[in-house]
Amino acid sequence: MKTYFDCIPCFFSQALRAIRVVTDDEKTQRKVLDYVAKLVPELPLDVTPPEIAQRVYQIVAEVTGNRDPYREEKRQSNQKALSLYHHLKEAIGDSSDPVLTACKLAIAGNSIDMGPLSSYDDIASIADSALVSPLAVNDYEEFKKNIVSATHILYLGDNAGEIVFDRLLIEEIKQISDAVIHFVVRESPVINDVTVEDAVSVGIDKIATVISSGSDAPAVILSQSSPQMLKKYHSADVIISKGQGNYEALSGEKENIFFLLKIKCPVVANSLGLGVKNGDNILLKGQRLSNN
Amino acid sequence: MKTYFDCIPCFFSQALRAIRVVTDDEKTQRKVLDYVAKLVPELPLDVTPPEIAQRVYQIVAEVTGNRDPYREEKRQSNQKALSLYHHLKEAIGDSSDPVLTACKLAIAGNSIDMGPLSSYDDIASIADSALVSPLAVNDYEEFKKNIVSATHILYLGDNAGEIVFDRLLIEEIKQISDAVIHFVVRESPVINDVTVEDAVSVGIDKIATVISSGSDAPAVILSQSSPQMLKKYHSADVIISKGQGNYEALSGEKENIFFLLKIKCPVVANSLGLGVKNGDNILLKGQRLSNN
């Protein structure tokens, strides 16, 4: 997905939220906003939004020296989501289609995103409403068929907290598939995105092989990916792409990608089409997209 | 009210909405956004938001040559609101306190604002909901007392469409007060704000003396006001300030101002305090504000 003019105000809002987490000093806050402003006339709009967001968060890091503003936020959301693990595991087990229920939870978990959102609902409420809400785009039957026959699945993680919901989905996937599963995290902290540390802290490393994307972008950007990551990407039968950033980065790709995400901005909703609106939960086979 | 960092993304959004009304040409749209970006590092944040918005809309006008992007929008909203005039007049007449009902309608009419908002509800629905909704801040009793004893009232208009609701309020004010009433419009078009042309088109000139603020700012900025306007401002017993822009510009002033507005952004809600939240309708005696 290309960057739209509507993304520009959002980059400023994101910078402002991140900088306010780091410091109350208005001079420093102003400095960050001025740097972001200087970036605007140089922006290549044919790149994807997470590539520009990457630069915005790099500015926050460079100006403040703090490369991980959401560190404490991430720790808390991992902990909170982990405290719900057994309750959610039970809800999945009690449901008529445990993989579908785990998908719904994993998509709803994508609400835990400090990029486009300034806050999110209580994680327990997110989970509860996911169990009863339908998916606005639902390619689940095809997803399940692909998973069952896959030999290698690449799972692109997105945010802290959400990663506990990903763990639950991976556990269900392993019940119906013998595929080798690699779980991709960001190379270093950006927004509240998952890193190796997060993956280990919630036990993902016990059920999948954790690998780095090779980049600090808040999405898997193929041109920035490590050779190891690219090899896994191209050899996977199925790619499970979590979240809006990964969708924005990979929506034009031809691989067998399933996008599991909550739509968190009207620009993404419009770009996606299919009658999708802001706030919708979707499970979409990427090859259905018109730019594929 | 000073300008907050949160206003910066909003200036970009406002520029983008205005430029899209004028042209589909992405190069021109980009040029406007780049100019707004160049403005950011020079922004004096101790000035009020409408002073910066004024510069933003001047950029749109300079780049496109179109000084009145919302001309057709304004014509339509005046016409639509005028078509409701008799219905609203009747609703006011049938109510137990016609001046209060007219106040509520005039405040609700402030929803018709293309600055902070990208759209607004149908004008008839705005009116209907105003008749049954309470005011979140309600200094009406004091407002009425002041109006009754006033000899000179200065009424600061805000938006097209809304101005029909202002006419209804002024007509009710004239039932309880012999005051001379001056109605202030913008010197030239900016956003969908009222100009002399709008005032005349809805008949305000028949019930009040229409004067210009002397400026194309989307608010009454005293430092930019004409000597005529300043004379009226300082000699008025009561100033009725409509809308968010006029509130932002005059919230720190000492005169006997009543602010009638719909809150259309969380920054204004927070700055105002008093437990007010985004979307609230308020009738506030300005001298109650802590910076007074």
The answer to whether the CB atoms of B10 and A5 lie below 8 A apart is no
Question: What number is the average pLDDT over the span B96-110?
Answer: 96
Residue B37 CA to residue B17 CA, distance in Å, equals 16
Residue of A nearest to B7 (CA): A13
Residue A93 CA to residue A91 CA, distance in Å, equals 6
pTM across the whole model: 0.93
What tokens appear for A147 in the block?
């998973």
Q: What is the 3-state secondary structure (H, E, C) of A196-213?
A: HHHHHHCCHHHCCEEEEC
Residue B1 lies in a domain: no
Weakest-pLDDT range from A153-157, B33-37, B274-278: B274-278
Residue B2 lies in a domain: no
pLDDT tens profile B1-17? 999 999 999 999 999 99
Per-residue pLDDT of chain A in tens (292 residues, 90 and over written 9): 999 999 999 999 999 999 999 999 999 999 999 999 999 999 998 999 999 999 999 999 999 999 999 999 999 999 999 999 999 999 999 999 999 999 999 999 998 877 776 667 788 888 888 888 899 999 999 999 999 999 999 999 999 999 999 999 999 999 999 999 999 999 999 999 999 999 999 999 999 999 999 999 999 999 999 999 999 999 999 999 999 999 999 999 999 999 999 999 999 999 998 999 999 999 999 999 876 5
* Residue A57 shares a structural domain with residue A77: no
Residue B242 lies in a domain: yes
> Distance of CA A31 to CAs A64, A213, B45, B196, Å?
10, 30, 13, 42
When divided into structural domains, chain A yields a total of 2
* Residue B120 shares a structural domain with residue B60: no
> Distance of CA A207 to CAs A173, A195, A210, Å?
11, 16, 9
Q: How many CA atoms lie within 13 A of A173 on its CB side?
A: 31
* Residue B86 shares a structural domain with residue B44: no
Q: Note whether A14 contacts B: Cβ–Cβ < 8 A.
A: no
Owning domain of residue B60: 7-64
Q: Which residues of A touch B18 (CB under 8 A)?
A: none
Q: Note whether A24 contacts B: Cβ–Cβ < 8 A.
A: no
Query: Residue A185: which H helix or E strand, with range?
Result: strand A180-185
Q: Which residues of A touch B9 (CB under 8 A)?
A: 9-10, 12-13, 16
The answer to whether the CB atoms of B5 and A40 lie below 8 A apart is no
Residue A221 lies in a domain: yes
* Residue A262 shares a structural domain with residue A240: yes
pLDDT tens profile A13-29? 999 999 999 999 999 99
Residue B141 lies in a domain: yes
CB A189, CB A68: distance < 8 Å? yes
Which of B38, B64, B90 terminates a domain? The answer is B64
Residue B91 CA to residue B97 CA, distance in Å, equals 11
CATH assignment at residue A21: 1.10.8
Substitution target from A14, A25, A40 for chain B, most B beta carbons within 10 A: A40
CB B160, CB B192: distance < 8 Å? yes
Question: In chain B, pLDDT over 90 holds for what percent of residues?
Answer: 89
The answer to whether the CB atoms of A5 and B33 lie below 8 A apart is yes
CATH assignment at residue B146: 3.40.50.10880
* Residue A112 shares a structural domain with residue A185: yes
Residue B33 CA to residue A100 CA, distance in Å, equals 44
In this structure, the dihedral spanned by the alpha carbons of residues B104, B106, B108 and B114, taken in order and rounded to 10 degrees, is -170
* Residue A145 shares a structural domain with residue A277: yes
Question: What number is the average pLDDT over the span B13-30?
Answer: 96
Residue A154 CA to residue A163 CA, distance in Å, equals 15
* Residue A176 shares a structural domain with residue A36: no
Residue B212 CA to residue B220 CA, distance in Å, equals 10
Q: Note whether A90 contacts B: Cβ–Cβ < 8 A.
A: no
* Residue A198 shares a structural domain with residue A257: yes
CB A259, CB A110: distance < 8 Å? no
* Residue B139 shares a structural domain with residue B281: yes
Please give the pLDDT value at position B292: 57
* Residue B55 shares a structural domain with residue B92: no
Q: Note whether B249 contacts A: Cβ–Cβ < 8 A.
A: no
Residue B159 lies in a domain: yes
* Residue A211 shares a structural domain with residue A91: yes
User: Does B107 score more than 90 pLDDT?
Assistant: yes
Which of B64, B96, B113 terminates a domain? The answer is B64
Which of B49, B64, B79 terminates a domain? The answer is B64
pLDDT tens profile B151-182? 999 999 999 999 999 999 999 999 999 999 99
Please give the pLDDT value at position A292: 57
* Residue B133 shares a structural domain with residue B239: yes
Longest dimension (CA), chain A: 56
What tokens appear for A254 in the block?
């031809």
**What single letter denotes the amino acid at residue B28?**
T
CB B279, CB B265: distance < 8 Å? no
What tokens appear for A59 in the block?
């500015």
Q: What is the 3-state secondary structure (H, E, C) of B84-118?
A: CHHHHHHHHHHCCCHHHHHHHHHHHHHHCCCCCCC
